[in-house]
Amino acid sequence: MRAKLEIIKAGKSLYHGVYDIDDTESFGAAWKDIWVKARERSMAKATSIGALMDTMHESVIEEFNGAQIRLTKL
């Protein structure tokens, strides 16, 4: 099934994408894609090696903390 996967926090869309989701593997692959995009965006904002290391380990979890996952069938 074609679906839109979206991460929403405080009423604002952080990430979204359209994926073919048919089972746990395809849902996991869609979530992985969003996770990687979030991590890359955080790494691009890092201004030092120390900030980069912090970003690698905690920034995605902090960014998604309290967020909602919305899955919409298309």
Q: Give 16-53 pLDDT, tens digit per residue.
A: 999 999 999 999 999 999 988 888 887 777 667 766 66
How far apart are the C-alpha atoms of 35 and 13, rounded to whole Å? Answer: 14
CB 21 within 8 A of CB 37: no
What is the tally of structural domains in the chain? 1
Which of the pair, 16 or 55, is modelled with greater confidence? Answer: 16
What is the distance between the alpha carbons of residues 60 and 44, in angstroms, rounded to a whole number? 13
Half-sphere exposure of 4 (CA within 13 A, CB side): 9
